[in-house]
Structure 1
Amino acid sequence: MVTKEEDCLPPATEPSRCYSPPSTTPLAELETIRSLEIMESSFLSPVWLLVIFCIINLLNYMDRGAIASNGVNGSTKSCNDKGKCTPATGIQGHYNLSNFEDGVLSSSFMVGLLIASPIFASLAKSFNPFRLIGVGLTVWTIAVLGCGSSFAFWFIVLCRMFVGVGEASFISLAAPFIDDNAPHKQRAAWLGLFYMCIPSGVALGYVYGGYVGKHFSWRYAFWGEAVLMAPFAVLGFLMKPLQLKGFPSTDSVEVMASSLGAEISKNNNHLQAGNEIKHDEVEVSIEIGRSSYANAVWKSITQFARDMKVLCKERVFVVNVLGYVAYNFVIGAYSYWGPKAGYNIYKMKNADMIFGAVTIICGIAGTLSGGFILDHVTSTIPNAFKLLSGATFLGATCCFTAFTLKSLYGFVALFAIGELLVFATQAPVNYVCLHCVEPSLRPLSMAISTVAIHIFGDVPSSPLVGIVQDHIDSWRKTALILTSVLFLAAAIWFIGMFINIVDRFNVEAESENPRNRQEQSIMVMNP
């Protein structure tokens, strides 16, 4: 019997290839060593990893903005009383869709995203997470090509579902990679840079989709996105995969595969004794294989259930996500109803442009500033909750006051300050999601957070606000009621400051000792 550790020992004539830090090595040094080991396995530096992930995130959200743009989404043919008609444009015009059918396109994307996010997070325990991102980006690229080549409404809906599936792998796994490789004192800032691509990507999508759809065709917009994403999908398979903290290394997987292959070969030799394979022995072998596959699936399901139980028992995670749900409830409704409310309250002539510009500028500036501020005051979970609660409360106060003003200019100025403060929460809230659980649970934490904020946040908020407006028939009052939910988010995050908090990022490093390492070693059978 040879353990992995023994296998790492070099022959007397070769220099040592394996480094095992002494038990007295400080945690900070252990973390640095691991970060170096992660990056040595690939030609990517941490900065290049961040740049690539930001570009991918930008493309993901550019697609969301493009399909919502007038150039790609379009409209059906319409005629006025004088008989003057506007031609059908975009997807809606091409397939003559009703507004309900047009709305199904965005919903279908969300279905794929929400179903696949926890699945990819669970698969990260069995497959290399970096390779899973490559798989997801490949699915995304093929699905976007399908959108551009669609021949029927049902087909483009199906393709949009798979676009969501492809994006799910990246959403669940990219942030943990950034958290692993970012400099210790700049983690929140790096997360801020990554999430800054959300508002900027959507804004870029509006411009890109509008231009391409107007000058070429809505199909070319999708094909262009696929061409831009294809190199990153290929990169996910060609380069040596990066390792994610809390998950088995590629070498460990290779050793297990070798061990499994040796065991299978040994069994085959027994079955082929006398150079003849009996029919009943083959059937037994097939049955054993099916049983092993069923056991593997069952183990994955039970492991997912155990992980979910641990996640739901983590009070910091629950409080953080509840606050995030309330926050996203407001942001989702703002993005949908904001221009209409602004037009009706202040008679804005260019409500779309005004709200769009305020959201883009404040979204980028606020997201970046939130990450840098958290790093400046030292990125810890308690400080993150303080920033979340304080920024949300001040932002809610500004937005609430803005909707009470009668002056358009006063409204725009105060609402911009409010949105700047509200968007400062993006880096801190995701920092808490990553650090309140053990490293091996980070992908699942990000996935469940994504599922929760959409199912209970922005998805139901738009129709619920519509119902309130139908009953009240006053956009100012409806906007004030909606904005008051931000105070609830601030209160929930304020509670998080008083919970017994443990940053679990190094929990596995703290528990490492020779006995644990020996138990985790992979045993390889001698021939």
Structure 2
Amino acid sequence: MNGPRSVLALLFCINLVNYVDRQVLFALLPLIKADMGVSDAKLGALASAFMLVYMCAAPAVAWRADRGSRVPWIAGGIGLWSLATGLGGLARGYTQLFLARALVGVGESGYGAVSPSFVAEHFPKEKRGGALALFSMAIPVGSALGYVMGGWIGGHFGWRAAFFAAGVPGLVLALLATRLKDPRPPLPSGAPGPGLRDYLGLYRTKSYLASTLAMTAMTFALGGLAVWMPSFLNRTWGLSVSEAGTVFGGLTVGAGLIGSLLGGWLGDRLLKVTGKAYFLVSGIGFLLALPAGVAAVRSTSYPASLGFLFLAEMLAFLNMGPLNGVIVWVTAPAVRNMAFAANIFVIHAFGDAASPALIGLASDRWGLAPALSATMLFLGLAGAFCLWGAGHVERDSAEVDRVHG
């Protein structure tokens, strides 16, 4: 259970369920809208509720996890968010559903703040990009399953049944997670953990800052797409709720698998040539994804729209392993959990905590297609941050190796 491959396999499955439970809501938005009669802005706020709680709880979890074992946070986190997902199906009004989705954020913060470093520390430095790419591959696959499962179950049995079904697998995985062992030794009794100065120092590391800013811009764009693309397919091309979830889910899983694996492979391969590899692979992918994404929502041809959407997602997903690898690469082990938690806070505070509601507001005023087109500009911004970070990553990594071995 605690060999590197076994740990990666289990945390991949947990990450898969993580994104199923997170994304299943979005396939159900048309059904919830029809049932509850709420505006697009309120539907977007359901996603924002989760993200606001998730990003705020993550630093507190990381602070505790830096001082002890990370296993309870992984196991407890998945158990809590799975129960909260099921509670969403019991909601009798918008406020109850809003609170249930916020509780999902509490559970997922326990897992999200510690799992990337937990996985990475089971592998040598030169293999971490590939390992994190495989781990991150669960994001598009889980997201796609959330859309497909949510759309199919919601279309046949109602949106409440979809929440019930999504919550069950995580309870089993929570029990398996209790058998994990933390590869990092605990702090000696009485030894002080990292302090505020150590944590604030993360943002003086330019490549860490660049990675976080790039992921923030990406999260703003992809988070908005995740929420609104099924509705776009439903409204623009006349797909049913089930069809829209299946189509977008299928595109996302295919693009995510190819993009994540290709990005991890290219990053590790080019790392033998240049220490800038992780940033270059990610940045070029983002810059190419921008025009493809705009074409996807502005095309007058349904097949062309789907083709451009697939291309945009595939290029954007190139970063999944490499940018997480940069964070592990340029941060000291003692503050690595907080590095990921601080990253979570920033990327969601300025990314998909805001974008679903903002896109909903823009959609109410100007239409969904123009709102999504404007959102794609953030992919270009992500690419620019990556190119800036490429100029600093080798020096930052060498400094961590010099100080911490």
Q: TM-score, normalised by structure 1?
A: 0.66
- Tell me what 1:416 maps to: 310
Using the alignment, how far apart are the partners of 1:337 and 1:213 within structure 2?
Answer: 17
SS at match of 2:338: helix
- Tell me what 1:266 maps to: none
Displacement of 1:121 after TM fit? Answer: 0.7
- Tell me what 1:7 maps to: none
How far does the alpha carbon of each residue in 1:403-424 deviate from its partner, in whole angstroms, 9 at most, with x for none? 6665544443344323211211
How has the CA–CA distance of structure 1 residues 510 and 128 changed in structure 2, closer, same or farther, with 3 Å as cutoff? same
Matched, 1:74 2:74: no
The answer to which structure has the higher helix fraction is 2
Matched, 1:496 2:385: no
Structure 1 residues 272-291: aligned runs within 5 Å: none
How far does the alpha carbon of each residue in 1:425-444 deviate from its partner, in whole angstroms, 9 at most, with x for none? 11111111222211122211
Letter in 2 for 1:323: A
Matched, 1:166 2:55: no
Q: Relative to structure 2, which stretch is displaced further, 432-441 or 47-56?
A: 432-441
How has the CA–CA distance of structure 1 residues 305 and 232 changed in structure 2, closer, same or farther, with 3 Å as cutoff? same
Using the alignment, how far apart are the partners of 1:76 and 1:417 within structure 2?
Answer: 30
Matched, 1:334 2:225: yes
How has the CA–CA distance of structure 1 residues 120 and 509 changed in structure 2, closer, same or farther, with 3 Å as cutoff? farther
Displacement of 1:348 after TM fit? Answer: 2.6
How far does the alpha carbon of each residue in 1:66-100 deviate from its partner, in whole angstroms, 9 at most, with x for none? 33333x983476xxxxxxxxxxxxxxx4xx46346
- Tell me what 1:128 maps to: 69
SS at match of 2:67: coil
Q: Relative to structure 2, which stretch is displaced further, 349-358 or 175-184?
A: 349-358
Displacement of 1:190 after TM fit? Answer: 1.7
Structure 1 residues 32-51: aligned runs within 5 Å: 43-51=1-9
Conserved in 1, the CA contact under 8 Å of 2:133 and 2:321? yes
Using the alignment, how far apart are the partners of 1:467 and 1:145 within structure 2?
Answer: 28
SS at match of 1:138: helix
Matched, 1:443 2:337: yes
How has the CA–CA distance of structure 1 residues 58 and 493 changed in structure 2, closer, same or farther, with 3 Å as cutoff? same
Using the alignment, how far apart are the partners of 1:120 and 1:315 within structure 2?
Answer: 24
Residue number among 289, 302, 324 corresponding to 2:215 in the alignment: 324
Conserved in 2, the CA contact under 8 Å of 1:128 and 1:243? no
Letter in 2 for 1:74: L
Using the alignment, how far apart are the partners of 1:242 and 1:311 within structure 2?
Answer: 23
- Tell me what 1:232 maps to: 173
Structure 1 residues 112-511: aligned runs within 5 Å: 112-148=53-89, 154-213=95-154, 221-237=162-178, 239=179, 241-244=181-184, 249-250=185-186, 256=189, 303-338=194-229, 348-350=237-239, 352=244, 354-378=247-271, 382-400=276-294, 407-465=301-359, 473=366, 479-499=372-392, 501-502=394-395, 504=397, 507=400, 511=404
How has the CA–CA distance of structure 1 residues 371 and 309 changed in structure 2, closer, same or farther, with 3 Å as cutoff? same
Using the alignment, how far apart are the partners of 1:339 and 1:230 within structure 2?
Answer: 28
% of aligned pairs identical? 27
- Tell me what 1:291 maps to: none
Using the alignment, how far apart are the partners of 1:159 and 1:189 within structure 2?
Answer: 35
Unaligned runs of 5+ in 1: 1-42, 78-92, 261-295, 513-527
Conserved in 2, the CA contact under 8 Å of 1:56 and 1:232? yes
How has the CA–CA distance of structure 1 residues 355 and 317 changed in structure 2, closer, same or farther, with 3 Å as cutoff? same
Q: Which has the larger radius of gyration?
A: 1
Displacement of 1:360 after TM fit? Answer: 3.0
Using the alignment, how far apart are the partners of 2:152 and 2:88 within structure 1?
Answer: 18
Displacement of 1:470 after TM fit? Answer: 6.7
SS at match of 1:181: coil
**CA RMSD between the two structures:** 3.5
SS at match of 2:276: helix
- Tell me what 1:522 maps to: none
Unaligned runs of 5+ in 2: none
